[in-house]
Amino acid sequence: MSSPYSAIFAAPGAKGFSAAGFFGRLPLSMMGIGIVTMVSQLTGRYGLAGALSATLALAAAVCGPQISRLVDRLGQRRVLRPVTAVSLVSVAGLLVSAHERWPDWTLFLFSAGVGCVPSVGSMVRARWAAIYTGSPRELHTAYSAESVIDEVVFIVGPILSIGLSTAWFPESGPLLAACFLGAGVYWLTAQRATEPRPHPRTEHSGGSALKSPGLQVLVGVFVATGAIFGSVEVVTVAFAEEQGHKAASSLVLAVYALGSCLAGAVFGLLHLKGEPARRWVLGVCAMAVSMIPLQLVGNLPFLAVALFVAGLSIAPTMVTTMALVEQYVPRAQLTEGMSWTSTGLAVGVALGSSAAGWAVDAAGAAAGYAVPGAAGALAAAGAFLGYRRLRPASERVGVRIDDGDDTGEQCMA
């Protein structure tokens, strides 16, 4: 591992909580696609499968910021373990109802319960922020490392989830995802030394972190970005099935994540000058343009190449987003602020996966790639329209942006 990464992981406890975060985040890439695979295997209904995945994502979008707000006030251990238990019980109910062919409404009910899950990635990033407060370069490298881990999760997760559900039994993918969630959250919350200090209610007098105009722009654009991710997953599974190689969809999606993983690893070694907001807009536009080749796919090898190229813009954009979040929210609401970006993604994934499922049912898998294409166009438009609200953020909240570093200085407002 290159020296900047070695340096950040030398901090006491860093390897432990980052490793726990890896296992706790695997369900992020396994559960939704696992539900799609499970339901499509059992019923052949991609519309229902996409709608259930959307329900899961929407529930996570509603619960995530509220859970993170409680974490900021009470601490990670006190909050994460009970809400994770609710999610695990709901997974058990979902698997039983799917296996026993219970009415569709029971599937939606349990899918909503599964969404009562913490944003593990935000919890890990909050620990990095607590360790490297006042050290923006190290924090940039740490966020880049976490983005690489995110992409490794999206390489490994779909392979495990789709592979198990197609080769073993349909419910095995979501079942393993639940096991990873329980183990990861328990391991993370057992590490008390690196847990960020809770901030009492009196320190949250400003209300929700979402009141920040800059954060509103990031979250709004991330809704469209999430629609890209959610629709690409659903359509890729359907496209691979049409090609007669449904299990290969996990490998194709892994290539998508691999592109982002490699880009994130390189990005973490750089300390670019210039305005982070401008770099963020360029990253969003690059994601939008990368959706164009998907409209021309005719076989799985071409699709894999197109998705690899599309993945190159993801991790750098995500790293820059986390740096911008720190500029727009105060320290006492940092976990909540990071969770709002995850919420934007979750809402987008819900909309994208649902729209993609119906598009596949109505017009076939190849036509379904129009959904991520449209989502990319919306994301680019939102980034352009919101750029002016990002630029003056430092003057509104009292943050000085250091042009020599990606992360700037911590908001003290």
Q: Please report the pLDDT score of residue 136 as a whole number.
A: 77
Amino acid, single-letter form, for residue 30: M
Torsional class of 2: left (φ above 0), alpha (ψ -120 to 50), beta (otherwise): beta
Query: What's the token pair of residue 155?
Result: 């390489």
Residues 6+ apart with CB under 8 A from 214: 324, 327, 328, 389, 390, 393, 396, 397
Query: What's the token pair of residue 159?
Result: 């392979």
Q: Please report the pLDDT score of residue 405 as a whole number.
A: 38
Of the candidates 131, 116, 156, which has an alpha carbon nearest to the alpha carbon of residue 25?
A: 156
Of the pLDDT bands very low, low, confident and very high (cuts 50, 70, 90), residue 395 is very low
Q: What is the pLDDT of residues 20-47, one digit of tens each?
A: 999 999 998 889 888 988 988 888 787 7
Q: b/e per residue, 7-32, with b = 16+ CB within 10 A? A: ebeebeebeebbbbbbbbbbbbbbbb
Query: What's the token pair of residue 59?
Result: 């529930």
Q: Say what angle helices 46-74 and 14-43 make with each other, to 10 degrees.
A: 160
**How is the chain split among helix, strand and coil, in percent rounded to 5?**
80, 0, 20
Q: Count other Cβ atoms within 10 Å, centred on residue 88.
A: 18
Q: Are 154 and 264 in contact (CB under 8 A)?
A: no
CATH fold label, 14-191+209-397: Growth Hormone; Chain: A; (1.20.1250)
Amino acid, single-letter form, for residue 296: L
- What's the chain's average pLDDT? 84
Q: What is the pLDDT of residues 291-331, one digit of tens each?
A: 999 988 888 899 999 999 999 999 899 888 887 887 777 77
State the number of CA atoms in the 13 A half-sphere of 264 facing the CB: 27
- Spatial separation of the C-alpha atoms in residues 401 and 26, rounded to whole Å: 34
Whether pLDDT at 139 is above 90: no
pTM of the model: 0.76
Q: What is the pLDDT of residues 215-254, one digit of tens each?
A: 889 999 999 998 998 899 889 988 888 888 877 887 888 8
Residues 6+ apart with CB under 8 A from 295: 369, 370, 373
Q: Please report the pLDDT score of residue 391 as a whole number.
A: 60
Q: What is the pLDDT of residues 344-388, one digit of tens each?
A: 887 787 788 778 888 888 888 888 899 999 999 999 999 999 888
